[in-house]
Amino acid sequence: MDEPVILIEDLHRVYTMGETEVRALDGVSLSIGRGEFVAVMGPSGSGKSTFMNIVGCLDRPTSGRYVLEGVDVSSLDRDARALIRNDKIGFVFQNFNLLPRTSALENVELPLLYSRKHRLSDAGQLERARAALGHVGLAERWDHTPAQLSGGQQQRVAIARALVNEPTILLADEPTGNLDSRTSDEVMEIFQKLNDEGRTVILITHEPDIAEYARRVISFRDGRLVGDVPVGQRRVAGRLAAPAPVAPGPGPRAPEVHP
């Protein structure tokens, strides 16, 4: 299994807006192997989200090659990309993007409803969704709607949703951007656990200490890859000591029970 999960060669993404051209990605080449945990950093507007959208098959490159698990996906049409997203990609967003007034379980079940890989019975779908919720430690909250969950819990539901279809890669665009540092640590703990189980994780962040949870950090500037370094001292989540500064938030919460 030496073949990289993601192989990118000379990737360009140019937005044309009237006269002006924005080179959001300007010649990026990169390879990411199975089981890696990569943090993507860089100043605002450097092209991180653009990169992520292309890796997640939401967008297509203007030029360049993107090979996902040995398949060139750079020129697939909308429907084919939707299939790939359902099958191989799990998205986690900064603002969670859960369906409102919908239980955690049904939110997690959603990707299965569009799946062609897993043609499960209704009961099978629910069981799978329940298992994914259990994986992020929220089995008991299955019937809570997003409004009844804290930010950290909502993000964990979103991670369960990203997981439920057993994707090849997990993509997270600033998943801790809306969370305080204690909750961020809880969320990063889950990402680390998933990575330890062998999943490939790519995560955008602005915060250097979040990047330290990863094993490798790549940096963008002006649409170019300007840094690619392994993390020397990997930070391990779940060991956040009490003195860590806690941003003003909903106050201390009882620790979640992890099965």
Ligand X SMILES: Nc1ncnc2c1ncn2[C@@H]1O[C@H](COP(=O)(O)OP(=O)(O)OP(=O)(O)O)[C@@H](O)[C@H]1O
Nearest to 199 by CA among 239, 153, 165: 165
68: exposed, middle or buried (Cβ count in 10 Å: 0-12, 13-18, 19+): buried
Q: At its nearest, how many Å lie between other proteins and the CB of residue 75?
A: 17
Binding residues among 7-36 for other proteins as defined by CB under 8 A: none
Q: At its nearest, how many Å lie between ligand X and the CB of residue 201?
A: 18
The phi-psi region of residue 6 (left if phi > 0; otherwise alpha if psi is between -120 and 50; otherwise beta) is beta
Amino acid at 131: A
Residue closer to ligand X (CB basis): 45 or 249: 45
Under the binding rule (CB under 6 A), the answer on residue 22 touching ligand X is: yes
Under the binding rule (CB under 8 A), the answer on residue 102 touching other proteins is: yes
| The residue to which tokens 């967003």 are assigned | 93
- Of the residues 5, 8, 36, 47, which one makes contact with ligand X according to CB under 6 A: 47
| The residue to which tokens 């060991």 are assigned | 239
Q: At its nearest, how many Å lie between ligand X and the CB of residue 24?
A: 3
Residue closer to ligand X (CB basis): 103 or 176: 176
Residue closer to other proteins (CB basis): 159 or 211: 159
Contacts of 245-253 with CB under 8 Å at 24 or more apart are: 245/181, 246/180, 246/181, 246/182, 247/180, 247/181, 248/180, 249/180, 249/182, 249/183, 250/150, 252/182, 253/150
Under the binding rule (CB under 8 A), the answer on residue 115 touching other proteins is: yes
- Of the residues 32, 41, 50, 158, which one makes contact with ligand X according to CB under 6 A: 50
3-state DSSP of 24-63: EEEEEEEEECCCCEEEEECCCCCCHHHHHHHHCCCCCCCE
Q: Which stretch binds other proteins (CB under 8 A): 63-71, 109-117, 199-207, 214-222?
A: 109-117
Cα angle 51, 157, 97; round to 5 = 50
- Of the residues 6, 28, 36, 48, which one makes contact with ligand X according to CB under 6 A: 48
Q: At its nearest, how many Å lie between other proteins and the CB of residue 91?
A: 5
Q: At its nearest, how many Å lie between other proteins and the CB of residue 2?
A: 28
User: Helix (H, G, I), strand (E, B), or coil: what is residue 170?
Assistant: strand
State the number of binding residues for other proteins (CB under 8 A): 30
Q: Which stretch binds other proteins (CB under 8 A): 28-36, 83-91, 197-205, 215-223?
A: 83-91
Per-state percent for the chain, helix, strand, coil, to nearest 5? 30, 25, 45
Q: Which stretch binds other proteins (CB under 8 A): 54-62, 64-72, 192-200, 203-211?
A: 54-62
DSSP 140: G
Q: At its nearest, how many Å lie between other proteins and the CB of residue 31?
A: 24
- Residues of the shown chain interacting with Mg ion in the complex, contacts defined by CB under 5 A: 49
Binding site for ligand X (CB under 6 A): 15, 17, 22, 24, 42, 44-50
